[in-house]
Structures are given as C-alpha cells and as structure tokens.
Amino acid sequence: MSVRQNSAVPERILTVTDVDFVRQGRAILSSISLEVDRGQHWALIGANGAGKSTLLSLLGAVQHPTSGSVDVLGRRLGRVDLRELRSIIGHVNPRHEVRSPLTVREVVSTGVTGTQELMMRWEPTAGDLARVDELIELMGMSARADARWPNLSQGERGRTLIARALMPDPHLLLLDEPTTGLDIAAREHLLDRVDELRQRHPDLASVLVTHHLEELPASTTHAMLLRDGKVLAQGDADAVLTGPRVSDALDYPLAITRIEGRWSVRTAK
C-alpha cells in the first residue's frame, strides 16, 4: 500500500521562538523555543501542569502565544487563515467527542471536512473513500471498519482518530496523550501502529505529549523536558531522556533504560 505524500514538504516543519503564554496573570509557558524538522518525532515530557498540552495547543493553532512566534511550514500564527493552517496539521485528541453512532469509516471521513459529525449534503469522493480504507488498514482497523463508535474500545477509538487526523495528508501530526485509558495490550497495539505509520510516512513530523516514558513509541527521535512552563532540556531523545534529567523534570529520583527502542523507568537506588 502506498500512502500519499506531498513531495514539496519543506525541511523545517515547526519553528517556535521565545514563546510566552500567560493566562490570568500566570505564566503557563516561559521563553519556549523549538525547531522540528521533517521526519523528526518529538516527545514532550513533564509533570502535570508543566505546560505540555498548552504548548501542543499552540503547535496545533488552537491558541496563540502571548508573546513570541509560532511558524508552521513557514506560516506564522496570527498572520494566516487558521483553516488553511489546520489543514496541514493532524491533531489527535483522545477526548474527541463523537455524539452520533458513526461507523469507523464515517468518523475517519470527517477528517476531510474537519468536523465532528458528517456534514449535511456532503458526500465523500471515490478518492476520499479509497483513502479512508487505506488509512483504516494502516491503523489495523479493517475488521472493525463498520463498527459504530459507541461499540469501540478506547484503543480502537484512538487508532480511528489517528486515521481521521491523517485524512487531509498533514505534514505535522500532534498526539495528545494517545494512550490515555488503554490497557497494556491496547497501548502496545497503538504504539506499534504509530511506529508503522512513521515508517510509511517518512516526511511526516510528529509531536507527542505523555506523562510516561513507557508510552513513547520506539520511533521517537527527539524530546523536550518541561518543568513549570520552562524547558529543562531538548534535543536527541537518548541525550535528553536520562535518569538525572528526567528526575529533575519530575522532581523524583529515577533510573531510565532503553531496550530495543523502548524506555522503562524505576526508582533510582
């Protein structure tokens, strides 16, 4: 199967420069800078309240920074039509709400229109339908393509939402705690699919937010550690996700190992 790719994807996908984000007089993010290139897969790590999801919302053009700048594929937040910008960003939120009992195929189809429900008088094209099935297969959901949303497990919903986010052929994929609420088997299935997705989409860049290093896919290339809205470290994943640095970010002594690409964590002795 060949997944569509846009040959014109530039090398630099994201540029975040000296970003502050303040709400009700409180600094949520302070002096954040980040550069994400084509094919890189970043993890944002930090304790609750560190600013991870806020930063992800800026990268996804959901919110604007108080100061500083965010550029997505050369388009600057505040100077570009948000609908155009969001069409090149795939945003996967496990709390995505589907009110109607849509099938997996129908939920994935809503990725074309960027809506939560099917639009009235809108019909997907033959090309859209082919891509829906292509992405459903990629995420290992072909056997459940006609299953309805209320009957899906949390893991199946997560894989469906990733397929939905890929419908517009985005250059950037944002994953906000994609393994939330999953049991171990469902988590491993989803992470295997994310690894396969990244292999099949060599130009795709991604940013994943999680609290847990065990939930990072093996294909993770880079990481940023956040504490109290500030960057403690960023860069190559193996250089950043060390015991001393993660212990500092989480304010707890931790020992970290990486085996066959996956991280494990225990209390340092």
Whether 16 contacts 68, CB under 8 Å: yes
| pLDDT score recorded for residue 33 | 97
The bridge status of strand 41-45 relative to strand 222-227 is parallel
| pLDDT score recorded for residue 235 | 97
Give dist(CA 107, CA 37) in Å, integer.
30
Q: What is the pTM of this model?
A: 0.88
Flag whether 94 is in a domain: no
Give dist(CA 263, CA 252) in Å, integer.
17
Whether 138 contacts 204, CB under 8 Å: no
Q: Of 213, 253, 225, 190, nearest to 34 (Cα)?
A: 225
Whether 179 and 83 map to the same domain: the answer is yes
At CB < 8 A and 24+ separation, what contacts does 180-189 make? 180/94, 180/154, 181/94, 181/154, 182/154, 182/155, 182/158, 183/155, 185/155, 186/153, 186/154, 186/155, 186/158, 187/155, 187/215, 189/140, 189/155, 189/159
Q: Residue 8 carries which DSSP code?
A: T
Whether 3 and 80 map to the same domain: the answer is yes
User: Which phi and psi (to 5°) does residue 145 adopt?
Assistant: -60, -30
Burial class (CB in 10 A: 0-12, 13-18, 19+), 151: exposed
**Among 169, 186, 214, where does a domain finish?**
169
Whether 76 and 113 map to the same domain: the answer is no
Flag whether 65 is in a domain: yes
Whether 220 contacts 43, CB under 8 Å: yes
Host H or E run for residue 243: helix 243-250
Whether 258 and 182 map to the same domain: the answer is yes
Whether 99 contacts 118, CB under 8 Å: no
DSSP code per residue over 51-106: SHHHHHHHHTTSS--SEEEEEETTEETTSS-HHHHHTTEEEE-TT----S--BHHH
| pLDDT score recorded for residue 4 | 41
- Residue 126 lies in domain: 100-169
Give dist(CA 10, CA 37) in Å, integer.
8
Whether 56 and 106 map to the same domain: the answer is no
Cβ atoms within 10 A of the Cβ of 259, count?
Answer: 8
Nearby residues of 98 by Cβ (< 8 Å), 6 or more positions away: 107, 116, 117, 149
Query: Model confidence over 191-245: pLDDT tens digits?
Result: 998 999 899 889 999 999 998 999 999 999 999 999 999 999 999 999 999 999 9
Whether 49 and 71 map to the same domain: the answer is yes
Flag whether 95 is in a domain: no
Give dist(CA 138, CA 2) in Å, integer.
10
Whether 74 and 183 map to the same domain: the answer is yes
Whether 211 and 262 map to the same domain: the answer is yes
Flag whether 93 is in a domain: no
Binned average pLDDT, 10 residues per bin, the chain of 269 residues: 50 95 94 96 94 93 92 85 77 81 93 80 86 92 94 91 89 90 89 91 93 94 97 97 96 95 93
Whether 122 and 159 map to the same domain: the answer is yes
CA-atom Rg of the chain in angstroms: 18
| pLDDT score recorded for residue 8 | 67
